[in-house]
């Protein structure tokens, strides 16, 4: 039973990270009907910038409590990631808005390689350990253990989700975003500046991605320049699982995928008598992705859109 | 690009013969005339393998318009199949009659098995297009790689991350390609012998794709790429034709992979990462999707560039800074990433496009001007 509870806690932690990244995919998809292929790189850059900045602060002899240092790193990472998100939109998507669909996809793949290689040139190819600034407070939770960091990650995710829903549903900017996603041309006629709205969408998604990147780095104690592809792919799976283009769907999909993945990798060894173990962890996301696209392409909460892609 | 001077049959024949002669003497020019000519010849051998791969992917991406980001998985299937049957690794498990099959049987088998994997990937993804398909195929490529990496237990099939060693070289017409062959007073070393072998299969694949291009099937692929609904209204069985594109493309990859395994003598999951799929895609995009000469050009550029970078960039860096500042591996991928962006923004039809493709990408230009 405590294995179940432990895996549930782990699943919710990684699930909250997937949810944050999935929101970035789903927002962009909702507004442009295109997948932002370079979104994983934004997450990676968020993580790397935070680590570098915290190391810099510690190196300069700044003595602050761990959480404050982490916050400082995050405050550095968010603008950088937003800038990268803006650049992705300007370089890969805006010039090709009326081009065949394959074209922006290929520029985005190209840009994602460029960002990866630049990161690898700046930070080196190897893993960067997350600076040991946080004390590991392990709490006992009905026989399973949960760290303060895990609790904080989930709470931050929930707070950000609430903020995002408020932004999209209750503000003028959100109304413009929803209008653009329904019909960009008409929204333009109504006085919405489409370019600004699309850029803003990319930047908000990137800010969430940066937070997620920091969470990945802090929870798993490391980051590296090639981490973006896999985590991006999984978060995309989460977005598809929930129904791409649907904000609530991205959240549901993120938590559900985190749950499936950690349960799967936790129990696969027991089910198969040790023949297959947790080294197959990464396969669950892909199987979920293929299964969803085959049996319910619209996802759990979405409209039917897969054919349009 | 038109070859107006190739009007008559004789002129064309002459041009082809000249070209064939050039290709025939190339390895001797390289190995005889240059200091590290053998490593260059090795690079040429790999370039030929990449041409085969790129032509296979071109069927899926260029003709049928289905973006496949997991293509390297089929290359892996061919390579691993060759390694299973041609190395001591599984010799104790498999029955003796299965081991060390003749080359042509082996390649046919690689083509068929890879083709089956192609259908396996194609069937659940038939309804998907564009970015969705790209992501699913990417996932498929990763699944294959994860299995290669982990299937060393419970039963050791792939030998995990260590890969498979001691893969036998090809035996053909009673000749062992693993040892230098004496013929006509020339010594054919492994790189030379493989050059001609791979060149022959490359020529075969070019011939097949050329014949396919304007065949019923080839035209059906293009029709699906242009407008799937219209294509099916014209009586094309879009499901079967798409599956055929996946199977065909995959089987080219399988053959190429089998030759790769025998040439390299060693396979491991390292050789089949996502970046390799992206590289092959880059060849197709750079050269000109759907245009055979363009794709060949793209494959040559992308596969030879790293060799040139290695030979030029490192000495230049040493001379300028006294040490290696930029890793050529990073630099190479950086250049390809940038090339993909720039090509798509400025010349989306590729460096050497077909006339039709060029027209498609510029049909809006006139409207915009008018």
Q: What is the least distance, in Å, from the CA of A179 to any CA of chain B?
A: 23
Q: Out of A96, A283, A286, name the one closest to residue B344 (CB).
A: A96
Selected for mutation to probe chain B from A106, A108, A112, A125 (highest B CB count within 10 Å) is: A106
Cis peptide before A158 (omega within 30 of 0): no
User: What span, in angstroms and rounded, lies between the C-alpha atoms of A209 and A18?
Assistant: 9
Q: What is the least distance, in Å, from the CA of B138 to any CA of chain A?
A: 9
Instruction: For B328, name the nearest residue in chain A, comparing CA atoms only.
Output: A121
Closest CA to A49 of A74, A71, A24: A74
**Chain A residues touching B135 at Cβ < 8 A:** 35, 233, 236, 289
**Complex ipTM, two decimals?**
0.85
Selected for mutation to probe chain B from A28, A117, A237 (highest B CB count within 10 Å) is: A117
Instruction: For A118, name the nearest residue in chain B, comparing CA atoms only.
Output: B334
Task: Give the 3-state secondary structure of residue B164.
Answer: strand
Q: Out of B130, B153, B338, name the one closest to residue A110 (CB).
A: B338
Give the DSSP letter of residue A131.
P
Selected for mutation to probe chain A from B344, B353, B362, B365 (highest A CB count within 10 Å) is: B344
Residue-by-residue pLDDT tens, chain A, 309 positions: 568 888 899 899 999 999 999 999 999 988 888 888 899 999 999 999 999 999 999 888 877 888 888 999 999 999 999 999 999 999 999 998 888 777 888 899 899 999 999 999 898 888 888 888 777 778 887 778 888 888 989 999 999 999 999 999 999 999 999 999 888 889 999 999 999 999 999 999 999 999 999 999 998 888 989 898 889 989 999 998 998 888 889 999 999 999 999 888 888 777 777 667 777 788 888 888 888 887 887 888 876 444 443
Q: What is the least distance, in Å, from the CA of A103 to any CA of chain B?
A: 6
User: What span, in angstroms and rounded, lies between the C-alpha atoms of B333 and B308?
Assistant: 14
**Chain B residues touching A28 at Cβ < 8 A:** none
Count how many pairs of residues, chain A against chain B, have C-beta atoms within 8 Å: 134
**Chain B residues touching A285 at Cβ < 8 A:** 139
Q: Out of B136, B154, B333, name the one closest to residue A289 (CB).
A: B136
Q: Do A309 and B344 touch (CB under 8 A)?
A: no
Give the DSSP letter of residue B171.
E
Instruction: For A120, name the nearest residue in chain B, comparing CA atoms only.
Output: B330
Q: Do B124 and A280 touch (CB under 8 A)?
A: no
Q: Out of B127, B143, B339, name the one closest to residue A286 (CB).
A: B143
Q: Do A290 and B153 touch (CB under 8 A)?
A: no
Q: What is the least distance, in Å, from the CA of B267 to any CA of chain A?
A: 21
Q: Do B348 and A103 touch (CB under 8 A)?
A: yes
C-alpha to C-alpha distances, B104 to B56, B100, B109, B110, B258, nearest whole angstrom: 19, 11, 8, 10, 11
User: What span, in angstroms and rounded, lies between the C-alpha atoms of B344 and A106?
Assistant: 7
Closest CA to B115 of B246, B238, B211, B217: B246
The DSSP result for B172-211, as a single string, is ETTEETTS-EEETTEEE-HHHHHHHHHHHHHHHHHHHHHH
User: What span, in angstroms and rounded, lies between the C-alpha atoms of B100 and B82?
Assistant: 9
Q: Where are the domains of chain A?
A: 2-125+143-226
Q: What is the least distance, in Å, from the CA of B344 to any CA of chain A?
A: 6
Distance of CA B223 to the CA centre of its chain: 24
Could you report the per-residue pLDDT of B57-88, keeping only the tens digit for each? 999 988 888 888 889 999 999 999 999 888 88
User: What span, in angstroms and rounded, lies between the C-alpha atoms of B101 and B174?
Assistant: 13
Instruction: For A307, name the nearest residue in chain B, comparing CA atoms only.
Output: B128
Closest CA to B271 of B336, B292, B136, B263: B263
Instruction: For A29, name the nearest residue in chain B, comparing CA atoms only.
Output: B131
Closest CA to B284 of B304, B298, B305: B298
Q: Which residue has the tokens 């003709």?
A: B63
Q: Out of B133, B278, B345, name the one closest to residue A113 (CB).
A: B278
Residue-by-residue pLDDT tens, chain B, 370 positions: 445 566 678 877 888 888 888 887 777 777 776 777 777 888 888 999 999 999 999 999 888 888 888 899 999 999 999 998 888 877 777 777 777 888 888 999 999 999 999 998 888 887 776 677 888 888 888 888 888 888 877 777 788 788 888 787 777 776 777 677 777 767 777 778 888 889 999 999 999 999 998 899 999 998 988 888 899 899 888 889 999 999 999 999 999 999 999 888 888 888 898 888 988 998 998 888 888 989 999 999 988 888 887 777 777 777 777 666 677 778 888 888 998 899 888 888 888 877 777 777 666 655 544 4
User: What span, in angstroms and rounded, lies between the C-alpha atoms of B131 and B123?
Assistant: 17
Q: Out of A101, A111, A287, name the one closest to residue B130 (CB).
A: A101
Is the distance from CB of B194 to CB of B38 less than 8 angstroms?
Answer: no
Q: Out of B139, B140, B336, name the one closest to residue A113 (CB).
A: B336
Selected for mutation to probe chain B from A26, A292, A309 (highest B CB count within 10 Å) is: A309
Q: Do B153 and A116 touch (CB under 8 A)?
A: no
Element (H, E) at A223: strand A222-223
User: What span, in angstroms and rounded, lies between the C-alpha atoms of A113 and B281?
Assistant: 13
Could you report the per-residue pLDDT of B182-194, keeping only the tens digit for each? 777 677 777 788 8
Q: Do A110 and B344 touch (CB under 8 A)?
A: yes
Is the distance from CB of A129 to CB of A138 less than 8 angstroms?
Answer: no
């Amino acid at each position: 039973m405590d294995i179940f509870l432990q895996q549930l806690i782990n699943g919710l932690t990684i699930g909250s990270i997937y949810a944050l990244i999935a929101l970035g995919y789903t927002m962009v998809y909702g507004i442009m009907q295109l997948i932002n292929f370079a979104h994983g790189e934004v997450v990676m850059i968020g993580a790397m910038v935070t680590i570098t900045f915290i190391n810099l602060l510690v190196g300069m002899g700044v003595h602050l409590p761990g959480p404050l240092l982490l916050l400082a790193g995050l405050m550095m990472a968010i603008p950088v990631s937003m800038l990268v998100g803006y650049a992705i939109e300007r370089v890969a998507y805006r010039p090709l808005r009326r081009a065949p669909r394959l074209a922006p996809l290929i520029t985005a793949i190209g840009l994602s390689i460029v960002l990866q290689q630049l990161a690898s040139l700046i930070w080196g190819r190897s893993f960067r350990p997350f600076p040991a600034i946080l004390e590991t407070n392990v709490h006992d939770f009905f026989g399973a253990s949960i760290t303060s960091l895990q609790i904080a990650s989930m709470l931050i995710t929930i707070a950000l989700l609430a903020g995002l829903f408020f932004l999209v549903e209750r503000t003028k900017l959100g109304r413009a975003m929803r209008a653009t996603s329904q019909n960009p041309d008409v929204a333009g006629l109504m006085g919405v500046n489409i370019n600004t709205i699309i850029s803003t969408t990319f930047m908000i998604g990137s800010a969430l991605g940066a937070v997620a990147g920091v969470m990945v780095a802090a929870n798993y104690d490391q980051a590296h320049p090639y981490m973006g592809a896999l985590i991006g792919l999984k978060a995309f799976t989460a977005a598809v699982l929930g129904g791409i283009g649907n904000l609530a769907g991205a959240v549901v999909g993120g938590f559900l995928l985190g749950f499936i993945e950690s349960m799967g990798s936790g129990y696969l060894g027991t089910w198969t008598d040790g023949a297959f173990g947790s080294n197959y962890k990464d396969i669950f996301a892909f199987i979920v992705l293929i299964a969803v696209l085959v049996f319910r392409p619209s996802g759990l909460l979405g409209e039917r859109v897969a054919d349009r892609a | 690009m038109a070859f107006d001077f190739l009007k008559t049959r004789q002129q064309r024949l002459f041009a082809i013969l000249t070209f064939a002669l050039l290709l025939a003497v190339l390895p001797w020019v390289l190995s005889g005339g240059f200091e590290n000519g053998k490593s260059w010849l090795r690079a040429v051998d790999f370039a030929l393998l990449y041409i085969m791969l790129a032509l296979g992917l071109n069927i899926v991406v260029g003709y049928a318009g289905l973006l496949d980001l997991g293509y390297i998985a089929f290359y892996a299937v061919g390579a691993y199949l060759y390694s299973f049957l041609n190395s001591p690794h599984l010799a104790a498990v498999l029955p003796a009659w299965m081991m060390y099959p003749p080359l042509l049987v082996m390649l046919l088998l690689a083509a068929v098995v890879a083709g089956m994997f192609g259908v396996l990937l194609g069937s659940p993804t038939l309804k998907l297009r564009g970015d969705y398909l790209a992501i699913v195929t990417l996932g498929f490529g990763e699944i294959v790689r994860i299995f290669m990496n982990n299937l060393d237990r419970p039963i050791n099939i792939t030998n995990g991350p260590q890969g498979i060693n001691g893969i036998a070289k090809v035996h053909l017409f009673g000749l062992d390609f693993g040892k230098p062959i004496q013929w006509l007073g020339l010594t054919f070393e492994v790189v030379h012998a493989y050059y001609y072998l791979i060149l022959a299969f490359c020529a075969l694949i070019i011939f097949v794709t050329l014949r396919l291009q304007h065949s019923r099937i080839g035209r059906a692929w293009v029709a699906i790429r242009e407008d799937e609904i219209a294509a099916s209204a014209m009586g094309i069985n879009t499901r079967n034709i798409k599956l055929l594109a996946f199977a065909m493309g995959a089987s080219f990859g399988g053959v190429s992979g089998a030759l790769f395994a025998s040439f390299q003598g060693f396979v491991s999951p390292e050789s089949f990462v996502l970046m390799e799929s992206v590289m092959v895609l880059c060849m197709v995009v750079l050269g000109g999707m759907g245009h055979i000469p363009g794709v060949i050009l793209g494959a040559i550029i992308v596969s030879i560039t790293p060799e040139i970078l290695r030979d030029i960039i490192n000495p230049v860096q040493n001379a300028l800074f006294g040490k290696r500042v930029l890793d050529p591996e990073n630099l190479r991928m950086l250049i390809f990433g940038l090339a993909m962006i720039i090509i798509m923004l400025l010349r989306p039809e590729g460096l050497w496009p077909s006339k039709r493709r060029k027209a498609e990408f510029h049909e809006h230009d006139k409207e915009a001007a008018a």
